[in-house]
A and B are shown apart, each in its own frame.
Chain A
Amino acid sequence: MPKGIGWRIGLIGIFILLSFLYLTPTLVSKLPSWWSGLLPKDKIHLGLDLQGGTHLVLEVDTQKAVEGTLDIVATDLEDTLTGKNLHFKRISRTGSDKVTVVLYEKGTADAVQKLLKDKYPNYEQSPLHDEGGFVAVDLRVDEKDAQDRKDKAVQQALETIRNRIDQFGVSEPIIQREGINHIVVQLPGIKDPQRAIELIGRTARLEFKMVREDIQPNAATIPDDAEILKEKSVDPATGAVSEVPFVLQKKSLITGDLLTDAQVRIDSQFNQPYVAIEFNSLGAKLFDQVTAANVGKRFAIVLDNNVYSAPVIRERISGGSAQISGNFTEKTASDLAIVLRAGALPAPVKIIQNVTVGPSLGQDSINKGLMAGLIGVLLVVVFMAIYYKLSGMVANMGMVLNVIYLMGALAAMGATLTLPGIAAIVLLIGMSVDSNVLIFERIREELNLGKSPKAALDAGYDKAFLTIMDSHITTLITAAVLFQFGTGPVKGFAVSLSLGVIINLFTSLIGTKVTFDLFLHKGTAKKLSI
């Protein structure tokens, strides 16, 4: 055998072996037990467009997280100042970046200024100024701290969403951060996307607030420290929505972050589901105090500014458990339990992109993609066999190698195959024999010049080399750019295309060449079937 054939055939063989090795986890549904350790386990994933599922992009309203922190600072200050007997008119967040403390007199103001400086050294304090005849001081959040808070809010939101999805039960979800305030969520094969979207998008801020029964909901004005929230209920028979307004104390007594558990239970009397919640020790203590102090009054259970129920406190409740009832179905109760367990989002999220593909369309796409691929292969194979005879078959063999290597490479990378990705593979079938066409046409010309098959072959490969490089490199340039900028399906296209182009260089320059060399190496062949 002439020099150089051995290692080339070896290389081709090794690559075939590797491809099948990497493809095994994809092709075999259940790997045998000895298939572990060093052997590859990654497989080709199907994109959401092929297996069905939901792709969401969420935008976290990070400004709200900063505002939330400022609200807490304001509440905290109220308690501290009250505790120290410093009288104030009003403490509240003003605008999006500061808390304003309004005091009655200059004397307290000095004490407050000192206290603020000690308690919130990171905040920027404004000089005292006049506000409607009173003395006011602003506490402004530092730009960098606000940025930190926003960043943390996105991270927290991501963890919370991951938690919710895990509890909801989706196999192989992808949840990742993108850019400054976006979170990408992929839920493959999800059956009830609408429900999952609602579960993910909910802020789930649970609050217990006292009902202000001294004020009528239809009163012309309500005090600064009260607010009107509504209880919505849907009539199961007619689907009509009715709203009952409540006047509530603005300040919440207990919040959802003091929960340790939430479970769905069924009311044995009315056969109606409800959510049983458990507080942690601090929550239990607060709940005990609140109920003890307010027996006979009503308090409201508020979730995301909707009143769920507003029961009368009959007796002091110790022990730290309570229940949320409302017009629940089993599903809505279970979803509520999930969001309460997973915790509230630090800031509201907005769904800015939602791509949902049903499983039937996904399967349809796979079938049609495969069909198109098969027909494409068939057309090309037949054409090449007729036009270039035996040499055409060599090119066809190269094309099959190409597809095997490409699939192997996709599996090795754990890449995602999308419908455009399949299209890229089909396109590559055409492009891979393309290189061989360039070579063959050149060989024909050399043969016409009267060269021997062996000489014509070498000249053909030599002279076509640059042309092949040109076409591959330019295709690779655009594929790489598409990979960098593309999302989802387009990225799948770019992955298949760029891998395919590189692999094709190998198969067309080494794979098919070695086959010819093998047959022509003696240099005695009189004819080349081309």
Chain B
Amino acid sequence: MHLHLLGKTNIDFIGKRNISFVISSIIAILGIVGIIQIARGAANMGIDFSGGTSMQLKFAKPMAMADARTALHKHGIARVDLQEIKEGNKLLIKIDKNAGAAVGKSADAVKASFTSEFADNPFVVESTTEIGPSIGDKLRKDTLVAVAISFLGIILYIAWRFDFKFGIGATVATIHDCLAMFAVFYLFNKEINLLFITAVLTIAGYSLTDTVVVFDRIRENLHKNLKGAMQTIFNTSINEVLSRTIVTSLTVFLAAASLFLFGGEVIHDFSLALLIGVLVGTYSSIFVASPIVVLLENRALAKQGDKA
């Protein structure tokens, strides 16, 4: 006997499409708002896009964020973002490019202010990143091009591989997954940086896997059984591949989860983005991609009916 995560299921996925469409619309709208905020520069942008300085300091003793902020303000560094990394008394400092200090001098100014204010709490600079505005502009442009080309590539592949209605379902699901990642990062005010975009593109490529798994089965069953109602065929197909859809995502999920939990602070947010992507990718293949195809198929059938 095979071990199964789920027994034989018979869930009416397509019938729940109104609920899932509402949920997905909210997610998508949040994602779009997030992207608009990013375009306006109002989101939490990483310095690779915005320019500026970021430093990671490791203190000998715990350092309260409020104290650190006061010390920096006292030394004329006003526009600063602080973030604490609980493990190992680490402090992440992000300084706006317009903070006042000249380019390349912010890091020195931070070091000087902490050295003089907290003489009894020595620290080491674990990393420093300084990005001039021209580089930030270039990275932003490059990234936009990269995102555009990736999506074009994926959509072309989908167009070649699926017929029109399935293609639309897969494309919408892929975009939905990426929007969901933006939505979560926007809601939790996580930093939008190059690594995040990398995660989004990776998921854009990966999320199709689950959709393909479901679609393949639907097409197979459509060929086999042309008589049943569209909705029934879709539901049966999804139920048939449900455990497969979940297990394929599960293995990737396990890997991403171990990165998230044990991979350290540098790739923490990156792994979080991957985790969200894998989860949403599974959800969307069932609740977004397939219902859209049903809608399109039904509409086409209705039209045919009108003509006849």
**A residues touching B (Cβ–Cβ < 8 Å)?**
49, 57, 59, 193, 350-358, 360-361, 364-365, 368-369, 371-373, 375-376, 379-380, 383-384, 386-389, 419-420, 423, 426-431, 433-434, 437-438, 441, 444-445, 466-467, 470-471, 473-479, 481-482, 484-487, 489-490, 493-494, 497, 530
Contacts and interface: CB of A to CB of B under 8 A. Distances in A.
Interface in B14-66: 56, 58
B247 interface: yes
Contacts of B56: 361
B294 interface: no
Q: Name A's interface SS.
A: helix
B153 A57 contact: no
Contacts of B145: 485
Given A358-B124, A420-B270, A467-B212, A481 B251 contact: no
Interface in B240-290: 240-241, 243-244, 247-248, 250-259, 261-264, 266-267, 270-271, 274
Contact of A478 (B202, B216, B257): B202
Given A437-B247, A467-B212, A423 B263 contact: yes
B263 A427 contact: no
B281 to A, nearest CB: 11
B266 A358 contact: no
A441 B4 CA distance: 10
Interface stretch (B68-76, B129-137, B298-306): B129-137
Contacts, number: 211
A375 B201 contact: no
Nearest to B244: A441
A380 B204 contact: no
17 contacts: A352-B135, A353-B135, A361-B266, A368-B262, A371-B262, A372-B259, A376-B258, A379-B257, A384-B251, A419-B267, A423-B271, A427-B202, A430-B251, A434-B251, A437-B248, A478-B153, A493-B198
Given A365-B266, A376-B255, A485-B142, A477 B127 contact: no
Contacts of B2: 444, 530
Contact of B248 (A193, A389, A438, A485): A438
Given A358-B127, A474-B154, 11 more contacts: A375-B261, A379-B255, A383-B251, A427-B202, A431-B252, A441-B244, A475-B209, A478-B204, A485-B149, A493-B202, A497-B202
A191 to B, nearest CB: 13
A355 B241 CA distance: 47
A487 B136 CA distance: 13
B157 interface: yes
Nearest to B271: A423
Interface string B193-224: 01100100110111011001100100000000
Contact of A485 (B146, B161, B205, B252): B146
A486 B198 contact: yes
A376 B257 CA distance: 8
Nearest to A193: B128
A471 B267 CA distance: 24
A387 B262 contact: no
B150 interface: yes
B251 A355 contact: no
Contacts of A485: 142-143, 145-146, 149
B175 interface: no
A57 B134 CA distance: 11
A352 B134 contact: yes
Contact of A429 (B149, B244, B255, B261): B255
Nearest to A441: B244
A508 to B, nearest CB: 12
B150 A478 contact: yes
A247 B255 CA distance: 68
B126 interface: yes
A336 B145 CA distance: 43
B129 A355 contact: yes
B104 interface: yes
Q: Name B's interface SS.
A: helix
A481 B201 contact: yes
Contacts of B250: 383
B128 A372 contact: no
A302 to B, nearest CB: 23
B221 to A, nearest CB: 12
B194 to A, nearest CB: 6
Contacts of B267: 369, 419-420, 423
Given A354-B129, A360-B126, A387-B3, A474 B247 contact: no
A343 B297 CA distance: 73
Contacts of B11: none
Contact of A474 (B132, B157, B274): B157
Contact of A484 (B146, B270, B271): B146
B187 interface: no
A478 B153 CA distance: 8
A474 B257 CA distance: 22
B271 A361 contact: no
Which 7 A-B residue pairings sit nearest by Cβ, starting from the closest?
Answer: A430-B255, A352-B132, A368-B264, A471-B209, A430-B252, A478-B205, A485-B146
Contacts of A530: 2
A73 to B, nearest CB: 30
A427 B255 contact: yes
A140 B251 CA distance: 68
Nearest to B197: A490
B138 to A, nearest CB: 8
A369 B263 contact: yes
A386 to B, nearest CB: 7
Contacts of A441: 241, 243-244, 247
Centre residue among B157, B257, B267 by max chain A CB count within 10 A: B267
Contacts of B161: 470
B275 to A, nearest CB: 11
A61 B1 CA distance: 73
A437 B124 CA distance: 47
A420 B134 contact: no
A365 B240 CA distance: 42
B85 to A, nearest CB: 11
A352 B132 CA distance: 4
A514 B129 CA distance: 49
